[in-house]
Amino acid sequence: MSKQIFVFLGPPGVGKGTQAAKLAADLKLPHISTGDLFRDHLKRETELGLKAKGYMNEGKLVPDELVVDLVMDRIKNEDCNAGFILDGFPRTVAQDEALEKALSANGEKVSAALYFDAPRDTIVERISGRRTCRGCGAMYHVKYAPTKQDGVCDACGGETYQREDDAAEKVSERLSEYDNKTGPLVPHYREKGLLKEFDAQGGVDEIYAQVKAFAEGLKSQA
Ligand code: AP5
């Protein structure tokens, strides 16, 4: 059976990471979030983390050359042999070209691009209410997925915080980066016949039921 390679696409805060994590757990595939990879480098203060920091904190995309090498290295790992889920990559046409080139060199290709969208006020509400655990990275939302105790992670007891780039003044920059640089990937994947659109306005489980049904449908065709 060919590798299952999924791209999760959509504006910041729409909920693609939440859905990608659920599908990765169900399909037992690695969930590769470029945002998480960069945050890990930032936390460890690596050279890459320090280079990415300014861009991320400003709500701008990190330059393609820094992202592409990071992802290409990651997908060579043995845990990607059966496939993988890319969350937040590719985010520019150049990143997509680099991915396609690397995959086609091994006779592989993206199985599908799952595109999530919701009205901007929904997105802003999701971003502004998001809280993340400093310890284990678990994600919460003050209204939709609150911690049992305010500011304390249910999973590990660590402190929850608001990501610097989730501050209101950074969100409009992130949305504008998305519109200008990532938005063009939507028609691009549609033309390739790889785009599957999801209305991300509903609850997490309601959306996930559709995601799972789609992934299972693809698997049965493979
Ligand atoms: P990244 O971490 O990828 O951020 P993003 O794309 O802006 O996406 P988010 O993590 O903000 O949102 P999401 O859609 O995953 O939503 P989530 O599930 O968390 O990237 C951060 C930065 O890194 C970028 O700005 C850039 O600088 C850099 N970067 C990363 N990749 C790059 C690349 N390829 N190229 C260049 N630069 C790159 O959900 C959000 C909140 O809503 C949560 O609180 C959640 O609990 C809640 N929620 C989710 N679903 C629902 C629902 N259905 N109903 C109610 N609440 C919900």
Answer whether residue 222 shows pLDDT above 90: no
Closest C-alpha to ligand 1, atom 12:
13
Provide the percentage of residues in the chain whose pLDDT is more than 70.
Answer: 99
Examine residue 172 and state whether it is found in any structural domain, yes or no.
no
What mean pLDDT do residues 84-99 have? 97
Tell me the two tokens of residue 37: 């990879």
Protein residues with CB under 6 Å of any ligand 1 atom: 10, 12-18, 33-35, 38, 55-56, 59-62, 67, 88-89, 91, 95, 126-127, 129-130, 139, 141, 144-145, 165, 174, 203-204, 207
pLDDT score recorded for residue 28: 97
Q: Which domain holds residue 35?
A: 4-118+180-221
Sign of CA dihedral 32, 7, 88, 23: negative
Residue 89, φ and ψ in degrees, nearest 5: -150, 135
Which sequence positions are flagged as catalytic? Answer: 16, 91, 130, 163, 174
Examine residue 147 and state whether it is found in any structural domain, yes or no.
no
Total structural domains within the chain? 1
**107: burial class by Cβ within 10 Å (0-12, 13-18, 19+)?**
exposed
Examine residue 124 and state whether it is found in any structural domain, yes or no.
no
Closest C-alpha to ligand 1, atom 26:
61
Q: Domain containing 199 — which CATH number? A: 3.40.50.300
pLDDT grade, residue 221 (50/70/90)? Answer: confident
Examine residue 150 and state whether it is found in any structural domain, yes or no.
no
Count of other CB atoms within 10 angstroms of residue 22: 17
Examine residue 128 and state whether it is found in any structural domain, yes or no.
no
0.85 surpassed by pTM = yes
